[in-house]
Structure formats: C-alpha cells, structure tokens
C-alpha cells in the first residue's frame, strides 16, 4: 500500500511539472556593458561598468536624464544574452533615440535610428542556443530604447492579448493545488495511522 502511495505522489509531481509552461527563450539574462562614445567617430571607447537586466524584452525612456554613471550624452551599451530558441519564425522590433543595432550570432539583423523610427524584421531561426546582441548609442539630448522579440507561431500577426495566457496560468495553478492536496491526503492515509 505504501508503494502505491509513493508511486501516486510521483505521478502527481510529474503531471504538475508537465503542465508548467516552458519559457521558450530560456533563462538568458542580459549582460549589459556601458561605454563612453567617441564624440567624433561614435565608436565605443572606455568601459564604464556592467549590469544585468532580466531576460526578454526591454524598454527604457531616460528622457533627458542620466543613463549610466552620471552620463547623459555620448554613452551607449552592448547587451548580450545566450538564448534557447524553439526554432521557427521570430519577429524582432526595435526603436532608439539615437541608434540601435541587433545581432544574432554575430550577424546584424536589424538597425535603426531615431530618424528612421521603429524597425521590424521577421527571420527563421533554427532550434538551439543562439547569442543575441543589442548595441545602443545615445549621442545627444533625449534618450530612449525599446527592443522586443517573439515567436510567430501562426504565421499571422501575433495576438498581443494576454487573456489566454492568464487563463492557462490559473488552470495550471489549480491543477497543482489539486495534485498537492491529493498527494497529502494519500500520504496521510498510508503513512500516518
């Protein structure tokens, strides 16, 4: 009887883990290196410091404020992340005041400036681990950067509604609660007399 209880608890645990949503992009945080920019060539010069940003999309609007280490103008960053892609078509979008460049496995896939506005590209990415790099430069005055990417699962314009994701999360949490309650009940019934 105890063996049956242990097997039942293991089955519940496996089912619960199987229903958890997988993070399609992996856990890759952004490793961000901030630099001074050369005022003539606009090339990255002195490394100012580093920081870590959460994985995924990002958007920052510093307006005319400090970007990093008291720097307002002629400053930029190179953000890199190792991400696991499921394979398929992915859409990348970017905007910058003043400029942004996006590279996938050292190949530029997107480039835009404030004058050009938002840029967007959809590309086929093979399944596996890839290096994503975002290069941002701020030369003068107001500063803003936005970067996002997502998998286009349908081949159509992606639905940005999160209602279906929220419902799925609720269902998953309820299933986990039911599984835990059932496992505790079985454990008490078998092991505690």
pTM tops 0.95: no
Report pLDDT for 22.
Answer: 38
Domain locations in the chain as residue ranges: 2-22+167-191, 30-151
Q: Which of 16, 34, 6 is nearest to 137 (CA)?
A: 34
Spatial distance between the Cα atoms of 79 and 130, rounded to a whole number of angstroms: 14
Number of helices (H), then strands (E), in the chain: 2, 10
* Mean pLDDT across 171-192: 74
Position 16 scores a pLDDT of: 45
Report the topology of domain 30-151. Jelly Rolls (2.60.120)
* Residue 186: pLDDT over 90: no
- Tokens 């990415």, residue located: 125
* Residue whose token pair is 């938002």: 118
Task: Report yes or no: 132 and 78 within 8 Å, Cβ to Cβ.
Answer: no
pLDDT of residue 152: 80
Residues 6+ apart with CB under 8 A from 74: 36, 37, 38, 39, 42, 138, 139, 140
């Amino acid at each position: 009887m105890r063996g049956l209880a242990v097997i039942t608890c293991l089955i519940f645990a496996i089912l619960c883990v199987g229903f958890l949503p997988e993070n399609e992009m992996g856990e890759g945080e952004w490793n961000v290196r901030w630099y001074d920019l050369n005022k003539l060539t606009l090339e990255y010069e002195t490394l100012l410091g580093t920081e870590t940003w959460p994985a995924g999309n990002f958007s920052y609007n510093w307006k005319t404020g400090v970007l990093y280490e008291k720097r307002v103008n002629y400053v930029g960053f190179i953000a890199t992340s190792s991400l696991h892609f499921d394979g398929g078509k992915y859409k990348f979008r970017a905007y910058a005041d003043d400029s942004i460049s996006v590279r996938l496995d050292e190949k530029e896939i997107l480039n835009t400036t404030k004058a050009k506005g938002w840029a967007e590209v959809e590309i086929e990415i093979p399944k596996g681990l890839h290096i994503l790099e975002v290069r941002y430069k701020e030369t003068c005055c107001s500063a803003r950067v936005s970067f996002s990417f997502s998998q286009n699962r349908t081949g159509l314009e992606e639905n940005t509604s999160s209602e279906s994701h929220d419902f799925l999360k609720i269902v998953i949490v309820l299933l986990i609660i039911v599984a835990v309650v059932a496992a505790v009940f079985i454990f008490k019934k078998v092991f505690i007399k």
